[in-house]
Amino acid sequence: MIGLAKSLVVEVVDFAGAVGRLASEIVRALFVSRINWKDVVRQMHFIGVKSQSVVLITGAFTGMVMAAQTYFQFHKVLMDTATLAVVAVSMGSELGPVLTALMVAGRIGAAIAAELGTMKVTEQIDALRTLAAHPVDYLVVPRILAILIAMPLLTAESIFVGILAGYLVGTQLLGIDPAYLWHNAVRYTGIEDIGAGFIKTFVFGGLIGLIGCQKGLSCPQGAEGVGKATTDAVVFSSIAILVTNFFLTMVLNRLLD
């Protein structure tokens, strides 16, 4: 048991070191190399536009469920009109950023790892080095920039749709007075709640991009290696998002209060 825990700690530290080295190479590339903005735009379309459907569906039904569950509890103490305030704060600071990041990790993190892993297995990355093109400059930087730009926009859509869906459920299905519902939502939802959510989404986007790229670039040989890299990218990204979210919540609440 102790040996298993020790090996797990060593693996996590090793992986964190590899991600840190990749991050330092990305920072160097941003200042030294020329950014291919055409690739960045193409990746933004793949990451942002093509992820909208899953993000919007997730945000809408999360807002609807939050509104229903909050109403069922608040109705017992005659606080029905505070329902949307809870939905807005939850979607803005927690559920919107986290669920959007998890959906993007499942779709984009896996895709990045699979693309780069396939390129490594088929020796295309070695061919880039032969042509004096650094893989980080050519493959990683556009993906990281694209996901850092796309994630806040996707999160904003998720938050907006979630609050709107919660408002419609509260007014149309649960019979809450629209004026008081909206008034309390505006009154109790602060700019710090939305700001905390957007700070988180930048961190989550960076984690998804870094982990997906690192897993793809370090992919073992063979089809089995590509599959393992893809699975690891999703699992590691999801765990990193959930763990990081806790610490960000504690720190940001202290700073923004």
Question: What is the Cα–Cα distance from 241 to 158, expressed in whole angstroms?
Answer: 17
Tokens of 117: 């892993």
Q: Quick: pLDDT tens for 133-190.
A: 778 888 889 999 999 999 999 999 999 999 999 999 999 999 899 999 999 999 988 8
Q: For 92, how many CA atoms within 13 A lie in the half-sphere containing its CB?
A: 19
Contacts of 6 (CB under 8 A, 6+ apart): none
Q: Quick: pLDDT tens for 11-66.
A: 778 878 888 888 888 888 888 878 888 999 999 999 999 999 999 999 999 999 99
3-state secondary structure of 36: coil
Q: Which contacts of 238-243 are long-range, i.e. CB under 8 A and separated by 24 or more positions?
A: 238/102, 238/105, 238/106, 240/207, 240/211, 241/98, 241/101, 241/102, 241/105, 241/204, 241/207, 241/208, 242/98
